[in-house]
Structure 1
């Protein structure tokens, strides 16, 4: 009888220990990686030439998919701080309306580092761990280059960096103590102004709201 009781006690202790080891707790680091896709929702202003706007001269911006990475530090069982990063996204700017004849105007790259405060509503031992996040995005543009016919007419393209709010919804489904399947989506408030010139000294500006949804699917690793 004593041996049976002892065996049950040891088994219970091992089960509790295993459950505890799988928990999301204060001090945990969670690394997430996967395929990230930026799906833009472009609202373009009109092209301004020396301050005069042509509302029918606008642009569109295509989507891109790259490697997405994020790092979360758990402040408690319910709250974590996340840094989102990625390999550079590349987008093509295409003329619309009175700029349509130029076709693909330019290519630009950007990085969208984002810091979010996350909330995990489920019990810390649950295998399914949904989370919500609210944060701040800073998007920096670089490698701005004109293409095709636009490259023959324009030069010195620059896109302003952007800072705005972001919202996040995601989940982990834990496979074991360390590994989980992950999926997440962010909304990012990204606005920029493109500035450039031509060889005659004319100056151009164009405002655009990109406001993408960023989808990521992959795995997470807790340590």
Structure 2
């Protein structure tokens, strides 16, 4: 089942066929859980191409946080451009890193707040499809734990939050509790052939029979034609 909810009434005024890029950190400044909001969030809105065969009502949000995890941004721009040509409204958002955090939970709350603020500005009456990669998948899962989404696609997620404790990319200041939301909405995980064995052993969403799985040969295929076609087919199957 796909869940649709209104996202609010704020207006984002852009030329309907123009790409718009700006930072909203100054608008949504403030503090939350010992985190000061940064003004370095990059926001890029792509309207559906006029030549697209149809205009999809549900927007796609391509989420990254490159200052925290550079890999989270890999392929996001090309993917957003590709889907805009196919009739989707695509929001690329590269979240700014906070000036300081006391814990990993505070870091995730900062990212969640920034993401929610930007999504509200879309003023589209359908909850978005959230697409995230690598460390960005933690932000996406934090967001959908408290906010509506039509679907969730996680690309190359870490096997678990605990698996990040011993690594430096992305760096978590403190252990982050595992997510416990139930995927009662369309959810998929995409990975490479080399990532698959670890996810099969350790990733709770991969083990869930209700979560769709997509496997591509390698990193190049993830953001290439093969990966994009798999994602498009998945969206078509969902009726999005």
Give the TM-score of the pair, scaled to structure 2: 0.24
Q: Which has the larger radius of gyration?
A: 1
Of Structure 1 and Structure 2, the greater helix share is in 2
Give the TM-score of the pair, scaled to structure 1: 0.26
